[in-house]
Structure 1
């Protein structure tokens, strides 16, 4: 330009440098009133604003001021060629301050020059741009963003859309977040704050970008989003994401006339694992289940952890109900595979409830309810199995829930009763003990069998309150018999949930203290299946503590094979209870006494006693007496009796 000096930048109207000067607090170009006339080398007039600007004699030394080396004017400016009369201290200070701001900003400053054509080339590349992206100024000046491959391929469309909005819609500023590459091909997430300077005819002159590396922020946001929708322990979808995926699957199935299977998966006896092996083992078990679940299903299916020991699965794209049944059966087998914790085998299994859209429910809520009903039946039927929903299950669940509510009310109103079945010595027939059995008379006067309400009490948690009531009532009755001159051992059955209670020993001690019953007159009975449970490590010490109190311990249903005989000698027990039918099995096999006689001999060697229960015939009784069985009980000898009808004399049938 005529009259310009080397290394000096002049601007017509609101050019790029003047705009940058305003952004950078006005260090490059300042109103005339703030600068002595003799320090200026040029003047720019803005008729539309009535302001007059002095252009300082600042020569670029890299960074933004390098623009002075190549800028050209697009309109005439009155710039007299005259020597600078005053020292150039102000100009140098301005350049120094601006350079300092550019160096200190955490943003990369990049300018694209469009004065030579429709494709912008890099005309400014700050030191921070080099630090963020890796390219030096010498490597990028005069090249386009495409030539250095800055913007990620997948985000090129967004970048071009932003440029089109600038070019065609006349936008003066735009913000764009996109993925970018570094020189060594690392992927970054960046936000560019874009400002546009135009020529008088409206064409783009330069585009100035202040670019922020937001990779860390994006990663944190992604982690927060992931945690909001995924389970922290297993990494599976959580309840929120699961419901969203279920609704999406149902929408697709409606559109495609397809089927969707929903499976609710519950880990059997998970509390026992935690109580026996600790929560670290429980977490490891849940993680293993999640991994097996994910590896068994297809990528299109959606496994999730709903919380605690509850998992779920959405199986999509099935045409027949049998596909869901095949997968459920496979999951039952896979999730029952051995799991080891610190060298110990931890037995585990799962129960699964299956519901299929659209037959079992037309909405996500209906399908979830149907799957929950099926899961309830699977657990009630013995666990380690799957059940597919049917309308009959709904009716059963309604009855069970009604029974549960009635049982809770009966407990509160003390409507349950205890009856006592005599345990008689052999062969004398003397009454040695009385086993307490719970009975419940319904509102219509009919008896509700224990097989109906006891498992229900265990499954719904009422067994805690029911067990406490039985224990306290039986202890009180034992004291009443002793006061009447006939001290009898009173036997009380304990379920697994009761044995797992941390306060079991204090509860028993409290019942004895309140009633005044001698500890030797209380007998606690637990089945071999219960003591054979892997959770026994959680309660065996409590049994030792109870035995130390003087309370008698009986192992019921002995001989079923659930408890290792090698541990019997160290286990705290006083007597074994067997099924009287064992004596019959020995006779059928041609071995009089059979297994029953072997158990009696085993007990004798350990100094313990054997009681045969469920005696139904005189022949059974004779066989049991012949093999040396110590005592017996059953309907043949005596049915359960109200507490006031207990016989104090030997029973004639013996």
Structure 2
């Protein structure tokens, strides 16, 4: 039997129980006991202290007289009579509620993402390890889902980081709502999320969960005054068939996500072993690109631009080529996407700009006039407002007049940061550099922005040119683009012209220039120089040595 024989005023203040009631000989402990620990458990620990003479400690949590959740750290020590016999115990409490609150906050910060409140990377990996251990014992499976938002950078760059953060929080809420309480959702940073799905009985159940999640994430979002249409790429790896440990499962889910992006984005893919071969090939190519820059493995070929009415040479486009020391020529269509993903595209673009200007200056010094040489700009080159300075320095380094340089930029690059692009392109125009919109009609078209851009030319994409002889709709699109461009006093260039019929249809529609295999493939510098020599150094002559398709 245990009863309270002394309590100080703080006891009454914390518990809300008057001291006379708490100290009454016939007090019912079950009525005067406040902590969430059972009375019987407390008295068992108390008797242990009295019997052994060893001190003990415990945490008491209860709701105080002021309806607040409080926590006390309790120390129990034995009390002895004059003969040295243990006859009771002294229990001393210290309110550590604030300390516990701070500890909980620190723990939450250490295990959760500050913006979304989701688990962070370290916490997720710990939960995944625990889930794998349970699945191994029970024979269940589990799934790891990697999620990467498509074109999220466009939102940040065009609408600001505040809107981007609000979109991330909204999508985090959607993920939690689409999943079960037992599933884990984490943000790994930026626009990358990872999900752990436990105990899906069948592959059909797993497919249903993934589909529900994808549908939830791709619904339109109204953020402030903006309606956004998020897209995402998902990669899924399943335990145990796709990996039996944390690192393998996460790596394979990431690989599947990359494949989803490479195959067009805004979709999901389940991992299979063949994907590892693709990923290894991608990594090898990425590493080789670094060496290609260091070892000067790139070169430029030049494709003539021809006046459609006179068949005379009026300029050319510089196109990068890569001769790999072991694999031979590698198509730009193969390595440019890799460069965009591994961050080398800016450096490669700067190399192209420098080499094109160097070559143009070299031709001019020998008495050959190549006209205006066009180079393609990447989004990386347009960041930060440094493009005009970069172009100016390159022109000056090679003593080249700006009238010999043209920059080609796609609609997608312009719209990635429209205001910055407009400012930079106007500065280039003021320098005397010509500006062309490449692949017009295939990207994020915006006529309102087009009227604000200092554009000299529009280039019609090959996709429309291919069908103008056989599809009335393609021909009508081409006619519309040409009419609109001429209304804005722009020159129109058709890309990818391969047949005389295409050239005649374009001429009838009013196109100004064309380039393509009908007239010439992209040529190395020595063949271009021979072409210029045949023109007797005068741009506008009819070339006689152009290689035809």
Same fold by TM-score greater than 0.5: yes
**CA distance in structure 2 between the partners assigned to 1:570 and 1:443 by the alignment:** 45
**CA distance in structure 2 between the partners assigned to 1:465 and 1:215 by the alignment:** 56
Counterpart residue number, 1:623: 505
Contact 1:355 1:388 in 2 (8 A): yes
Relative to structure 1, the CA distance from residue 149 to residue 630 in structure 2 (aligned partners, 3 Å threshold; closer, same or farther) is farther
Contact 2:55 2:78 in 1 (8 A): yes
Counterpart residue number, 2:2: 119
Could you report, residue by residue, the CA deviation over 1:46-73 in whole angstroms, capped at 9, with x for unpaired residues? xxxxxxxxxxxxxxxxxxxxxxxxxxxx
Equivalent position to 1:263, from 125, 145, 159: 145
Deviates more, 1:237-246 or 1:524-533: 524-533
Q: How many residues end up aligned between the 2 structures?
A: 534
Deviates more, 1:639-648 or 1:617-626: 639-648
Gap regions ≥5 residues in structure 1: 1-117
Counterpart residue number, 2:292: 410
Deviation at 1:302, TM superposition (A): 0.8
Q: CA RMSD in A?
A: 2.6
Deviates more, 1:576-585 or 1:565-574: 576-585
Deviates more, 1:593-602 or 1:391-400: 593-602
Equivalent position to 1:527, from 389, 399, 410: 410
Relative to structure 1, the CA distance from residue 589 to residue 398 in structure 2 (aligned partners, 3 Å threshold; closer, same or farther) is closer
Q: Does 1:359 align with 2:251?
A: no
**CA distance in structure 2 between the partners assigned to 1:305 and 1:328 by the alignment:** 17
Counterpart residue number, 1:13: none
Equivalent position to 1:515, from 398, 402, 425: 398
Contact 2:119 2:186 in 1 (8 A): yes
Could you report, residue by residue, the CA deviation over 1:585-607 in whole angstroms, capped at 9, with x for unpaired residues? 56656689522122111111111
Deviates more, 1:152-161 or 1:344-353: 152-161
Flag the structure with larger Rg. 1
**CA distance in structure 2 between the partners assigned to 1:550 and 1:342 by the alignment:** 41
Q: Does 1:540 align with 2:422?
A: yes
Q: Does 1:146 align with 2:29?
A: yes
Bigger relative contact order, structure 1 or 2, given CA contacts below 8 A and separation 6+?
A: 2
Contact 1:481 1:488 in 2 (8 A): no
Relative to structure 1, the CA distance from residue 583 to residue 187 in structure 2 (aligned partners, 3 Å threshold; closer, same or farther) is closer
Counterpart residue number, 2:388: 505
Counterpart residue number, 1:94: none
Q: Does 1:438 align with 2:320?
A: yes
Q: After the TM superposition, which residues 209-224 of structure 1 pair with which residues of structure 2 at under 5 Å, given as runs?
A: 209-224=91-106
Q: What is the DSSP-based 3-state SS (H/G/I as helix, E as strand, rest coil) of the residue aligned with 1:119?
A: coil
**CA distance in structure 1 between the partners assigned to 2:101 and 2:519 by the alignment:** 76
Relative to structure 1, the CA distance from residue 147 to residue 297 in structure 2 (aligned partners, 3 Å threshold; closer, same or farther) is closer
Gap regions ≥5 residues in structure 2: 533-540
Deviates more, 1:476-485 or 1:446-455: 476-485
Relative to structure 1, the CA distance from residue 590 to residue 215 in structure 2 (aligned partners, 3 Å threshold; closer, same or farther) is closer
Could you report, residue by residue, the CA deviation over 1:40-95 in whole angstroms, capped at 9, with x for unpaired residues? xxxxxxxxxxxxxxxxxxxxxxxxxxxxxxxxxxxxxxxxxxxxxxxxxxxxxxxx
Could you report, residue by residue, the CA deviation over 1:519-555 in whole angstroms, capped at 9, with x for unpaired residues? 232211122343345x434533322332332222111
Counterpart residue number, 2:267: 385
Equivalent position to 1:492, from 363, 367, 375: 375
Contact 1:576 1:608 in 2 (8 A): yes
Equivalent position to 2:109, from 224, 227, 252: 227
Q: What is the DSSP-based 3-state SS (H/G/I as helix, E as strand, rest coil) of the residue aligned with 1:378?
A: helix
Equivalent position to 1:557, from 439, 456, 466: 439
